[in-house]
Amino acid sequence: MSRINHQTQSGGTAPLRRESVSPAASRIDSPLSDLPALGASSAPSPDQLHFTVRYALPEYVSFMWQHAGYLIRRRRIGRLASWWMLSKSTSAAAMHFVAQGRARHLYDFTIDEHGIVRASGTGVTLVPWADVSAIRTYTRGFMLVLKRGTLPIPYRCLSSAQAGAMQAFAATVKAARR
């Protein structure tokens, strides 16, 4: 392992040290160029949604069961094989939910015309609308289908006005995909 030294004020050398920065402030999963332009005021615009989500295992399993069911039905592989694949994929999703500790994290969402920003104690994820393939509606909420993965948004975290705005975003995404 190489060691980087720099000159101290007294003329000697010492190992190079970094300033301590909190991990939440230093990790970004997308390039900074995708960040929406921030104006002088930080007040949310009327078409900007801001809410927090703490997922629960039963809720997450319900989302995954319904979404996997939708994907598997499209394959038309038969009832028994469909049920087997649905059970396997949903149980695998539940195990990943527990292993990743998703129930311990509080996710802060901001959704506007530029895209989706999801922040938590582990980092910030920026998703431009170009990466959103569809917004599906399930019994427990909205499922944002991304190019790489999904993002469930429970109804319990949205006001009726925010749910209406999500419906408008879903219509816009659907129209853009045609």
Q: Are 54 and 105 in contact (CB under 8 A)?
A: yes
Nearest-angstrom CA–CA distance, 129 and 138: 20
pLDDT digits (tens, 9 = 90+) for 120-173: 988 999 999 999 999 999 999 999 999 988 999 999 999 999 999 999 999 989
Q: Are 54 and 106 in contact (CB under 8 A)?
A: yes
Residue 104 DSSP label? G
* pLDDT value at residue 20: 40
pLDDT digits (tens, 9 = 90+) for 76-120: 788 888 889 989 988 998 998 899 888 888 999 999 888 999 999
User: What's the pLDDT band for 42 if we cut at 50, 70, 90?
Assistant: very low
- Domains of the chain, by residue range, sit at 48-177
